């Protein structure tokens, strides 16, 4: 409970968020055994918690989402889900740098890669997977396919193209709607100019698949005309969507275009997770703790958005109200203040008397613990130049006499 509530708690450090979360847990369970009082003890207890416990809780909650979001769980024949990924920065500790490595520029901080599947109609995360900063989001999606519900429609951007991935998605019994790019080659039975193409049946069959004996994938290609407003005016561009739904009545042209526009909920979710909940950089300093912090924060965010979406008026319309993560977090924090205010605590003077600095017997090592990358090394200042007065002796004597 402390792990989940500390994700919503207000504070600039892990210690401050722990104090708030612990106070709320004590207020909610006054007759139960109280949790520890120090953040160090909390981290030691969290480190002993197996990861399978958090993943089991996430799986149980995932099974309840269809009931909680019953009003907007399905859109037409599909449960529309989007998939995307983002990096999370980690502290520059030797353990994390050695285990996670670098994923960006030289001497960059260690990072974790998060791939999340989001329910696009409500913005609630459905399932997720963590890996190193260099992990493949396509491989993450392959691992997450077994968590998807029936009648799922996976909506992805052009970063998820590939014959093998499309084949694996269809083999799982799930439909796909993926944006195509110029790196993909498709085949049609009849030749038609791209300018006049609107939608039709195509075959996805790469040279590698032909050599390995793979079968061609019979899919449907949709061309959506769009426009983009810029400073110079309006630029027109086309969005090419590839889907495994061949029947137009199941996935009309307008619905395919609308579902791909909903994919922006993926980007909005990462913004809420990283900025609103301040998870752009994780605070744990060991591998075991950073995984538990990331898993617990995703589980807490799923709870937050699911409870908010379930409380909103239910409607199947596209213009139905969607939950605001920022407003939901503020309401949770107000509730925390209300609950924590009921607890008895010692007066302010006594607490301030305990606010003394940490006493150390003596420092034996340097203040700079290690050399940080991409930072100019500190060089101690050199001694001053000491010269003899020489010819300045008479000027100094005259200046002192005038001053006297």
Rounded to whole angstroms, the Cα distance separating 13 from 360 reads: 22
Query: Does 285 fall in a domain?
Result: yes
Helix axes 39-48, 287-311, angle to 10 degrees: 90
In this predicted structure, what is the pLDDT of residue 316?
Answer: 47
Query: In terms of C-beta distances under 8 Å and separation of at least 24 residues, what long-range contacts does 69-73 make, across chains too?
Result: 69/119, 69/121, 69/122, 69/124, 69/306, 69/309, 69/310, 70/314, 71/314, 71/315, 71/316, 72/121, 72/122, 72/309, 72/314, 72/315, 72/316, 72/320, 73/119, 73/121
Residues 195 and 325 in one domain: no
Query: Does 333 fall in a domain?
Result: yes
Out of 267-271, 329-333, 396-400, least confident range: 396-400
Tokens of 401: 């006499």
Query: Does 357 fall in a domain?
Result: no
- pTM of the predicted protein model: 0.84
Rounded to whole angstroms, the Cα distance separating 102 from 246 reads: 42
Helix (H, G, I), strand (E, B) or coil at 398: helix
Range of the domain at 238: 159-262
Q: Is 369 left (phi over 0), alpha (psi -120 to 50) or beta?
A: alpha
Rounded to whole angstroms, the Cα distance separating 118 from 123 reads: 6
Residues 171 and 144 in one domain: no
- Start-end of H helices in 312-359: 325-340, 348-353
Residues 272 and 294 in one domain: yes
Return the bridge partners of 234, or none.
229
Residues 29 and 120 in one domain: yes
Query: Does 167 fall in a domain?
Result: yes
Q: Pick the last residue of a domain from 243, 262, 281.
A: 262
Residues 69 and 153 in one domain: yes
In this predicted structure, what is the pLDDT of residue 282?
Answer: 93
Residues 187 and 285 in one domain: no
With pLDDT > 70 as the criterion, what percentage of the chain qualifies? Answer: 85
In this predicted structure, what is the pLDDT of residue 317?
Answer: 47
In this predicted structure, what is the pLDDT of residue 221?
Answer: 94
Residues 19 and 94 in one domain: yes
Tens-place pLDDT, residues 260-307? 999 999 999 999 999 999 999 999 999 999 999 999 999 999 999 999
- Read off the pLDDT of each residue in 148-164 and give the average, rounded to a whole number: 95
- Read off the pLDDT of each residue in 328-337 and give the average, rounded to a whole number: 87
Most confident of 119-128, 222-231, 320-329: 119-128
With pLDDT > 90 as the criterion, what percentage of the chain qualifies? Answer: 57
Tens-place pLDDT, residues 4-45? 999 988 888 889 999 999 989 998 888 888 889 899 999 999
Q: Pick the last residue of a domain from 242, 262, 282.
A: 262
pLDDT of 251 strictly over 70:
yes
Residues 124 and 164 in one domain: no
In this predicted structure, what is the pLDDT of residue 370?
Answer: 63
pLDDT tier, 106 (very low <50, low <70, confident <90, very high otherwise): confident
Residue 324 contacts residue 276 (beta carbons within 8 Å)? no
Q: Pick the last residue of a domain from 339, 369, 394.
A: 339
Residues 171 and 133 in one domain: no
Residue 87 contacts residue 113 (beta carbons within 8 Å)? yes
Tens-place pLDDT, residues 217-249? 999 999 998 766 666 666 667 899 999 999 999
In this predicted structure, what is the pLDDT of residue 404?
Answer: 84
Residues 23 and 122 in one domain: yes
């Amino acid at each position: 409970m402390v792990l989940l509530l500390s994700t919503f708690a207000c504070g600039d450090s892990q210690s401050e968020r722990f104090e708030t979360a612990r106070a709320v847990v004590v207020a909610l369970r006054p007759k139960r055994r109280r949790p520890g009082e120090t953040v160090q003890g909390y981290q030691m207890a969290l480190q002993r918690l197996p990861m399978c416990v958090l993943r089991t809780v996430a799986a149980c909650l995932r099974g309840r989402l269809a009931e909680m979001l019953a009003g907007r769980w399905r859109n037409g024949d599909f449960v529309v889900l989007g998939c995307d990924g983002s990096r999370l920065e980690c502290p520059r500790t030797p353990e994390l740098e050695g285990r996670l490595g670098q994923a960006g520029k030289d001497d960059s901080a260690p990072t974790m890669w998060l791939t999340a599947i989001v329910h696009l109609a409500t913005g609630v995360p459905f399932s997720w997977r963590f890996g190193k900063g260099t992990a493949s989001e396509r491989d993450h999606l392959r691992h997450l396919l077994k968590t998807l519900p029936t009648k799922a429609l996976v909506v992805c951007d052009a970063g998820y193209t590939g014959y093998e991935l499309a084949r694996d998605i269809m083999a799982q019994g799930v439909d796909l709607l993926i944006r195509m790019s110029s790196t993909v080659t498709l085949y049609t039975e009849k030749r038609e100019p791209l300018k006049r193409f609107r939608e039709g049946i195509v075959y996805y069959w790469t040279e590698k698949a032909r050599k390995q004996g793979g079968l061609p994938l019979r899919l449907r290609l949709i061309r959506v005309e769009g426009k983009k407003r810029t400073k110079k005016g309006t630029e027109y561009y086309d969005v090419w969507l590839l889907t495994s739904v061949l029947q137009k009545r199941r996935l009309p042209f307008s619905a395919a275009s609308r579902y791909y526009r909903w994919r922006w909920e993926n980007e909005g979710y990462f913004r809420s997770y990283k900025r609103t909940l301040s998870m752009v950089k994780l605070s744990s300093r060991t591998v075991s703790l950073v995984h538990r912090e990331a898993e617990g924060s995703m589980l807490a965010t799923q709870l937050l958005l699911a409870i908010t979406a379930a409380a909103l008026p239910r409607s199947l319309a596209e213009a139905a109200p969607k939950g605001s993560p920022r407003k939901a977090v503020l309401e949770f924090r107000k509730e925390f203040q209300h609950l924590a205010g009921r607890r008895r605590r010692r007066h302010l003077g006594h607490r301030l008397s305990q606010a003394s600095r940490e006493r150390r017997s003596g420092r034996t090592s340097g203040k700079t613990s290690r050399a940080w990358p991409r930072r100019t090394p500190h060089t101690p200042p050199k001694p001053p130049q000491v010269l003899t007065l020489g010819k300045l002796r008479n000027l100094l004597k005259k200046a002192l006499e005038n001053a006297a």
